[in-house]
Structure 1
């Protein structure tokens, strides 16, 4: 094998990078044939999410928002790129070292894949096939980088691939030979090289007679041969990745989603009152458009679930375990409901909240058909990607519009928001209620089972806390003196908002005018439209009172373990 001194640094790194790209492309293709979650890059990312401390996850959500998954995947790919380049450098020096490096990453990938909750032995195949393809590519490109040439085998090469002659070096026995490598100490003086093949690089070749043979059977760096090989390997990587994405079901699921004819609700939601949306520019609209609805979950790659293949299994502490298909679900009594969802990661004044009109069937009715046994107090639901959620059973069964939803704002659920079916439970934070891509519900007890977030320090039960937010004016803005609008939203799902108060510069509290709210399960807009803003810096605070008589307290608490508290406060400059 040729030593690294015979190959430019950039060439060795490029060989490693392209070999890594082939591994990713081929493994993605194989995962498309096996299972999307068997793609090792995603499996490693999911393992990283699972092992990340809760505090670091919270920081990522605060810092990157809904882009946290893209940042994580980008980071993983950058690490893989650096590692692949290092493998190329190792292989250029000794192919066995490069192959050993690939084997290490293969072991990591297989371990990550097989430790996922729904993994089976066959899920290791994409990683193994990808590593095998990378090993073949690494070996072939390393060989293509050299071609026979009339250049001494011991010529040194610079980073551009040009060789320079060397002076004669002493042999181990004290004699001198013409053009021996500087790694002569690696072999014995008795080594000989047959006349019908080139000498391996890195070996001392004694002269017989005292002058070595001419360079016609030597090897030199072949830039053109390497680059053509690289282009071919890159094409394989790209084609494999493209085919893998197509096989992952994105296209088929998109077509299936577009072809769903939504049934009309047997129980329509009340008409949205004309006064529910104050239609103030910059104020959150009463209905949040699907494209603007927040997304917070642990899925690095969104599960692609074909409704024709979807089933929901309900088992555990029930009298009659049942399995429901999507067609079965659509035949049940369909309910429509306006429900505001909120993430427990929402800081005071944060963006992770939205309101939508949902279409689905009653989760309580499905559970009653299965026959929930006495003593059961938890619904452990599982997503298609293996994530679990623990929902208090009594909340679902108390008469509220807890849904198995399949539509959102008049269209089939967006794939990012749980297509084909998700849970929607008013009054609970999403981490204990809003399972997307739901496929399994185990009726159990909190003292027997734990969901994903509970062992990570979060409360087992997560009722939404009464909160309010200032949308206008925004923090840090500069506004003109004179009459100014202060407006925002407040929420206390399944309790309802009774009052919102605002004060400026710690002055007296003023009652805000409330918009209409069709039910207690949605947020409510509020406004003060006659604040006389005077030049200077001003601080605006807001607090809400819900229908139980509870008024928000000023004390700020963090989001963990069960949601943030405190008054939302903004500072603005009037000039």
Structure 2
């Protein structure tokens, strides 16, 4: 019921997601880092699933309490409600009291279902024995165990709780309920009631998601007609993509582009309601609408984005063609003050990001992007507007759903990840990755291809070297690139001999810096080391 009502109010007001968000904010940083490194893309589904498991366990306890006195169950649901309301209304993007409605509706529906199943578990009126009724035991208090399923627990929990009927009866009826009174419990009626409740809950949840989807901005996004760029990107060279099977293509498709952010539910921002506020250490605070932004000259640029959480050889990196307004142009309208060195950007869901001013203003294609690979930004990737800044890890540059820019200083403000132990500034480190072959592949002896990608955004890749079994480093062939802000494909032919072999790669950027062999984890400012894998040749 909560999800159904959230579909009409706001999908973000679903209490399970709000509680999961609060869990992330309150968790110790080592726990958050462990989840990110271990679970990767699946951290959010696992977190939401964990919240649901905890809720099911607490619901079982509420059901047990309800077998003793229904008021105890209602009190437990009340605690659920308080936690849910607090989690929802304290979200950064909360719209206030209205966001509490899904939680309140869920608690009300749960209370009604709890009462109904407890009565149903006790059987039809008159089935209790005289021994039970003569002492004034209420049907809700004298039910046999299993009524805890009223709180929505799985049948297995009910069965487990019902394994000691004598103990339950002794607690519920101190004056002594007879065996016949205990046998009045109707398991079939309880199980059919639970099954019906699960079916209704599932149907309402599905309907809630569908209603929420219809109320999202997807339709508005599809209807958008984007202006042509005033400054088009350079044509992508034909030789930019070797088209080797298993090698990452030069352009990453939108649906394949990695997604890392703190949003458990993707913000739905109507472009007609979107505004970007720029304030703080500026001469003229300004506020732009989406229409204002589209009227400005648009720039097209090929830029590779990388997450600071990416392990050596990891896949949290992708390359796309972006369209947007230069951030420097917008900031000049506001008039940056001389001693400002940080842009504290805020997304629609409250996430904050700190970007160095000098990087944005040095002439690179730092954009307030509105399109990705020829179409309006996907909702998952920041629609209607996000930041794209070449040369910086995403956590300090790539704010999605951006709605606010505070011009400030690093010694005055902190962004979301900085107090959690990550570096305040995140320049991207030169990296290379082997895509072909895969780790532990079994290869046939003879001529084979080793290939991958390397990146050093806004510096460019000048060389890639490969070695096998700690032998001599060999220069790989490099693909062409349209500029220094994208990754670069590389390949090398290898005469593979039978046996087990170790392959390593390292890159050198255009500034002459070669990747260090010294391994380091992603925290606090990006992983280092040479990507190394082992294959078997037969």
Q: What is the DSSP-based 3-state SS (H/G/I as helix, E as strand, rest coil) of the residue aligned with 2:503?
A: strand
- Are the aligned partners of 2:121 and 2:144 in contact in 1 as well (CA < 8 Å)? no
Cα distance 1:80–1:159, how it changes in 2: closer, same or farther (>3 A)? closer
- The residue that corresponds to 1:124 in the other structure is 100
1:11 equivalent in structure 2: none
2:212 pairs with 1:248: yes
Match of 2:125, SS state, is strand
Cα distance per residue 1:96-120 (max 9 Å; x no partner): 2211221222222223223322336
- What SS does the aligned partner of 1:221 have? coil
Q: How far is 1:228 from its partner?
A: 5.9
CA distance in 1 between counterparts of 2:145 and 2:451 reads 63
Structure 1 residue 91 corresponds to structure 2 residue 66: yes
Stretch of structure 1 that moved more, 78-87 or 532-541: 78-87
Residues 380/182 of structure 1: CA separation in 2 closer, same or farther (3 Å cut):
closer
Q: Distance in 2 between matches of 1:468 and 1:432?
A: 21
Residue 497, structure 1, aligned to residue 461, structure 2: yes
- How far has the Cα of 1:30 moved from its partner? 3.3
1:62-461 map, 5 Å: 62-119=37-94, 121-122=96-97, 123-146=99-122, 147-154=124-131, 202=173, 204=175, 220-223=184-187, 226=190, 229-230=193-194, 233-234=197-198, 236-461=200-425
**Counterpart selection for 1:56 from 23, 31, 34:** 31
What is the DSSP-based 3-state SS (H/G/I as helix, E as strand, rest coil) of the residue aligned with 2:73?
helix
Distance 1:143 1:439 in 2: 51
RMSD between aligned residues: 2.7
Q: Is the CA contact (8 Å cut-off) linking 1:266 and 1:333 kept in structure 2? A: yes
SS of 1:248's partner is helix
* Inter-CA distance 566–185: structure 2 relative to 1 (3 Å threshold): closer
Q: Aligned-pair distance for 1:447?
A: 1.2
Q: For residues 150 and 493 of structure 1, what CA distance do their matches in structure 2 show? A: 76
The partner residue of 1:546 within 509, 512, 516 is 509
Q: Distance in 2 between matches of 1:270 and 1:288?
A: 17
Gaps spanning 5+ residues in structure 2: where?
A: 133-141, 148-165
Pairwise CA distance, 1:235: 5.3
Deviation at 1:35, TM superposition (A): 3.4
* Aligned 8 A contact 2:67 2:144 in 1: no
Q: Which residue of structure 1 lines up, in the alignment, with residue 430 of structure 2?
A: 466
Distance 1:205 1:88 in 2: 22
Deviation string, structure 1 residues 115-145 (Cα, Å, up to 9, x no partner): 3223364133332332232122212321233
The one-character-per-residue Cα deviations of 1:475-505 (angstroms, maximum 9, x if unpaired) are 1111111111111111000000111111111
Alpha-carbon contact 1:491-1:524 (below 8 Å) kept = yes
Decide whether the 8 Å contact of 2:275 with 2:403 is kept in 1.
yes
1:160–1:93 distance in 2 versus 1, CA, 3 Å: closer
In structure 1, distance between residues paired with 2:515 and 2:169? 79
Residue 203 of structure 1, CA deviation: 5.5
The DSSP-based 3-state class of the residue aligned with 1:561 is coil
The 1:373–1:218 alpha-carbon spacing in structure 2 relative to 1, beyond 3 Å, is same
**Whole-angstrom distance in 2 between the partners of 1:517 and 1:508:** 27
1:567/1:183 Cα in 2 relative to 1: closer, same or farther (>3 Å)?
A: closer
TM value normalised by structure 2: 0.88
TM-score scaled by structure 1? 0.83
Other structure's SS at 1:148 match: coil
1:152 Cα offset (Å):
1.5
Q: CA shift at 1:154, angstroms?
A: 4.6
Secondary structure at 1:149 match in 2: coil
CA separation in 2, counterparts of 1:106 and 1:305?
27
In structure 1, distance between residues paired with 2:534 and 2:182: 75
Number of residue equivalences: 508
3-state SS, counterpart of residue 116 of structure 1: coil
Deviations 1:334-363 (A, max 9, x none): 111000000000011111000000111111
For 1:343 and 1:184, locate their aligned partners in 2 and report how far apart those are by CA, in whole Å. 58
| Aligned counterparts, 1:559-574, within 5 A | 559-574=522-537
Checking the alignment, whether the CA contact within 8 Å between 1:183 and 1:203 is kept in structure 2 is no
Extract structure 1 runs of 4+ deviating beyond 6 A: 155-161, 181-186
Higher mean C-alpha displacement, 451-460 vs 327-336: 327-336
